[in-house]
Structure 1
Amino acid sequence: MKPFFLPAFLLLSLSVQAADWPTFRGADRKDISSETGLLKKWPASGPKQVWLNKDVGLGYAGFAVVGDTVYTLGARDVVEYVIAVDAATGKEKWAAEAGALLTNGWGDGPRSSPTVDGDKVYAMGGKGTLVCLNAADGKEIWRTTMDSLGGKVPGWGYCESPLVDGNLVIVTPGGAQGTLAAFDKATGKKVWQSAEWTDPAQYSSIIAVDHNGARQLIQLTMQSVAGVNAADGKLLWKTEFPGKTAVIPTPLFQDGQVFVAAGYGVGCKSFKIKAGNEIEELYASTDMVNHHGGMVLVEGHLYGYSDKAGWTCLDFKTGAVKWAEKKLLGKGAIHSADGMLYLLEEKTGTVVLIEANPKGWEEHGRFTLQPQTTQRNPKGMIWVHPVVSGGKLYLRDQELLFSFDVSGK
């Protein structure tokens, strides 16, 4: 009998599906880790720090974690880099140029998370350069720019994380040539651009869902939320969602229902995509005024920070408020794993573990991130979203990248 070997690329693919965190908010962009057996209560001092890398560059870029590597972006001098770090030791493996430095009054540098697909990494620089690199060594495969697609750099820079879906990598250049654009992920050749939808780019990241017999790409702008066909970029449906200043959170989808939210007093809206892609509004309110910390949907309940009432739990189907808590922790970002919520306060770097419980706030530990950067812009805060992967909690404050053991082992 011949020995049975799996090809290396298949092993990597299986690994990504099993437990890794290949892109912003995870493979399904729901921001819920599939890991189990994690700590349900933290020691008084917080979980054990595994390592600290003090040189991943400036900016607000998040992480992709695949196999034994953490991928992020960071600015060094006047260049933005994609940076690969050993997940076990925190030591840098390689750095590759992503594009010129985005300068901004709230802090310079990149804002997105890389996306890992098989043996490739896709990353968006702050000025809108999209690069494809070898995951193993950072060697460049291809690159393109959002301005070549008619896009204009939004006020706070390009912040979305590229979506890889099938053979395509899809991004949001925005503008008259089309809001969304898809490329052959292997060659970088443009496959389509959504000419029927021409809103300028904002800061949200695309989600992909199977609904009404099609693969739908759902994205949010300052004017609307819409779905396009992943096969050809044709507009399937669109509904108004007027934003103010900046529209940032990633849409949520479950059982044909979409939920979107924005800050600056805008609030939230939820609707059903019915047969024939007809849109039926379910509710709209200011009970979830989510700025940029994101939201998660756990067992029918939506959690996130609302500028109106603080940390808030809503019934997803109806929009009814189940509870709100503002005194115990200030504004920040959220992540979910193993039935728990990981909350990060943006001003202080306080990290809190609570249950994902619609009955109320049940806290199971907290600690404050230390040390904190001395290089952050005075207007900037700790805005990088937490990620749990491989039993580790990853946090970042500018050039400082932390790994904490939350595995429960």
Structure 2
Amino acid sequence: MALRLDLRSLIFACALLCCSSDLLAEGPWPQWQGPQRDAVSTEAGLIQEFPEGGPQRLWLFEDCGIGYSGPAIVENKLYILGAFEGTDHLLCLDATTGEQLWKSPLGSTFENDWGNGPRSTPTVDGDFMYVLTPTGTLYCLQTDDGSIVWQKEMQDLGGEIPVWGYSESPLVLGNTVFCTPGGEEGAIAAFDKISGDLLWQSKDYVDVAHYSSIMPMKHDGRTILVQLLYKELVGVDPENGGGLWSIPWNGNVAVIPTPIISHDTVYATSGYGAGCVLVRLSGNDAEVVYENKNMTNHHGGVILRDGHLFGYSDGKGWVCQDHETGKLVWREREALGKGAIAYADGRFYCLGEDEGELVLITASADGWEEHGRFTLEPQTELRKPKGKIWTHPVIANGKLYLRDQELLFCFDVKGE
């Protein structure tokens, strides 16, 4: 029995090591925040200046359902979640034409005053994809028709639905899918991606689930999992769920942004006054390099480029922060309100959550340099009064995708 377990652990470790840190999944945007889960597109040759009125709109799909789910794009197919008449669905569209190819029903959806429907992005992995619904069901589905292969309930693992619903996008590495049920039975869980069998729960960490998504990190020749829980930033052994390190986190109300990995460091931020932290790893030890409130990102995301962090900080506006020191490099409070950010080909795509303005700026520590803007038109009439345009921009195959509830836009941003 011991030999069998050791062999299984060896096979598991080898599978993880075979997962390249340069590309976690195939496709131009196969999962939450793109190939490396960092909101950075690998696209090149894109337009560097928006024309008057913005780039050409290629198509508008008007039946995406209710929700904030972002698209995953692989092999010219676009997968996205939406709620129809109280039921979550997985949709597949032709990413070039916007034609719906199929729609597959899941379970009952989540409802609250900020908006109903799914919040997460599908994770596409070969012939299968993995989605976590806001009510806490993890599905494995076939990519060709959306048929369900298996499903698991977070509540069966001791989890409870967070106030704004489960919003995490699952992580697939090797033969394993990871997610965060939260709770005293173990905050993070691992499943066999083919059978759905539960492999482990991380009993060293029993915090409740919030809204961040797990990031993989290559460190000292191995892969570890990094997750920002409600009250701690943690490192987890993906082979057995064992705790490797933990840093206290001053989470308040909602902890949402995905951690940022760079070499031997982990950067985390969240809103409601929590601020940000940079942690440096040495073996299984984690040391805080700095903590401050120069970046207090609610949910629009932060991007690391060329040693600097960019995103919207509550109370400060759009900011650039030095990654190594945490010092504020510049801020812009007037050009655009709070929103989400993505990167492609030397430019940031900044989407304002209030008016639906998309602004193209230089990805530079020299300051906010604008290269055109436009406003989404039309906009949904189905958004709840407390809801805003919260789905992050996606750039793939020379196209920019934006969502406002049931409306999914596709723009041509490919250069000449």
TM bracket (short chain): over 0.9
Q: Give the match for residue 173 of structure 1.
A: 181
Mapped partners of 1:399, 1:194: distance in 2: 37
Residue 36 (1) aligns with residue 54 (2): no
Residue 75 (1) aligns with residue 87 (2): no
Residue 51 (1) aligns with residue 48 (2): no
CA contact (8 A) 1:58 1:75 kept: yes
Letter of the 1:207 partner, please give it: M
Mapped partners of 1:185, 1:203: distance in 2: 22
Q: CA deviation at 1:17?
A: 5.6
Q: CA deviation at 1:98?
A: 2.6
Mapped partners of 1:120, 1:354: distance in 2: 36
User: Secondary structure at the residue paired with 1:148?
Assistant: helix
Runs (4+) of structure 1 moved beyond 6 Å? none
Letter of the 1:301 partner, please give it: H
Letter of the 1:120 partner, please give it: F
Selected match of 2:397 from 382, 385, 390: 390
- Structure 1 vs Structure 2: percent identity of aligned residues? 49
Q: Give the match for residue 258 of structure 2.
A: 250
Superposed CA offset, 1:70-109 (max 9, x none): 1110000010011111111111111112321101110111
Selected match of 1:368 from 372, 375, 400: 375
Q: Give the match for residue 281 of structure 2.
A: 273
Letter of the 1:58 partner, please give it: I
Q: TM-score scaled by structure 2? A: 0.93
Q: CA deviation at 1:212?
A: 2.4
Q: Give the match for residue 4 of structure 2.
A: none
Q: Give the match for residue 380 of structure 1.
A: 387
Superposed CA offset, 1:212-261 (max 9, x none): 23211100111000010111111111110121100000000101111100
Q: Give the match for residue 4 of structure 1.
A: none
User: Secondary structure at the residue paired with 1:23?
Assistant: coil
Letter of the 1:155 partner, please give it: V
CA contact (8 A) 2:26 2:125 kept: no
Mapped partners of 1:272, 1:18: distance in 2: 29
Q: Give the match for residue 356 of structure 2.
A: 349
CA contact (8 A) 1:16 1:22 kept: no
CA contact (8 A) 2:25 2:125 kept: no
Number of residues of Structure 1 aligned to a counterpart in Structure 2? 394
Q: Against the structure 1 CA distance between its residues 197 and 18, is the aligned structure 2 distance closer, same or farther, given a 3 Å change threshold?
A: closer
Q: Give the match for residue 150 of structure 2.
A: 142
Q: Give the match for residue 333 of structure 1.
A: 340
Q: Give the match for residue 324 of structure 2.
A: 317
Mapped partners of 2:334, 2:62: distance in 1: 32
CA contact (8 A) 2:27 2:73 kept: no
CA contact (8 A) 2:26 2:74 kept: no
User: Secondary structure at the residue paired with 1:61?
Assistant: coil
Q: Give the match for residue 12 of structure 1.
A: none
Q: Give the match for residue 405 of structure 1.
A: 412
CA contact (8 A) 1:354 1:361 kept: yes
CA contact (8 A) 2:26 2:35 kept: no
Superposed CA offset, 1:98-129 (max 9, x none): 32110111011110000000111111111011
Residue 231 (1) aligns with residue 239 (2): yes
CA contact (8 A) 2:394 2:402 kept: yes
5+ residue gaps, structure 2 = 1-22
Q: Against the structure 1 CA distance between its residues 17 and 113, is the aligned structure 2 distance closer, same or farther, given a 3 Å change threshold?
A: closer
Mapped partners of 1:373, 1:31: distance in 2: 25
Q: Give the match for residue 5 of structure 1.
A: none
CA contact (8 A) 1:16 1:67 kept: no
User: Secondary structure at the residue paired with 2:57?
Assistant: strand
Q: Give the match for residue 18 of structure 2.
A: none
Mapped partners of 1:206, 1:92: distance in 2: 30
Superposed CA offset, 1:253-283 (max 9, x none): 1011111001111111111011x32111111
Mapped partners of 1:180, 1:188: distance in 2: 15
Q: CA deviation at 1:19?
A: 4.9
Q: Give the match for residue 240 of structure 1.
A: 248
Mapped partners of 1:19, 1:195: distance in 2: 34
What does 1:99-178 correspond to in 2, within 5 Å?
Answer: 99-178=107-186
Mapped partners of 1:16, 1:93: distance in 2: 26
Letter of the 1:313 partner, please give it: C
Q: Against the structure 1 CA distance between its residues 363 and 250, is the aligned structure 2 distance closer, same or farther, given a 3 Å change threshold?
A: same
Q: Give the match for residue 297 of structure 1.
A: 304
User: Secondary structure at the residue paired with 2:156?
Assistant: helix
Q: CA deviation at 1:18?
A: 6.3
Residue 189 (1) aligns with residue 197 (2): yes
CA contact (8 A) 2:347 2:363 kept: yes
5+ residue gaps, structure 1 = 1-14
Mapped partners of 1:379, 1:285: distance in 2: 29
Selected match of 1:306 from 300, 303, 313: 313
CA contact (8 A) 1:98 1:123 kept: no
Letter of the 2:366 partner, please give it: K
User: Secondary structure at the residue paired with 1:324?
Assistant: strand
Mapped partners of 1:200, 1:16: distance in 2: 27
| C-alpha RMSD of the superposition | 1.2
Mapped partners of 1:124, 1:93: distance in 2: 21
Mapped partners of 1:213, 1:237: distance in 2: 17
Q: TM-score scaled by structure 1? A: 0.95
User: Secondary structure at the residue paired with 1:388?
Assistant: strand
Mapped partners of 1:217, 1:98: distance in 2: 28
Mapped partners of 1:364, 1:140: distance in 2: 44
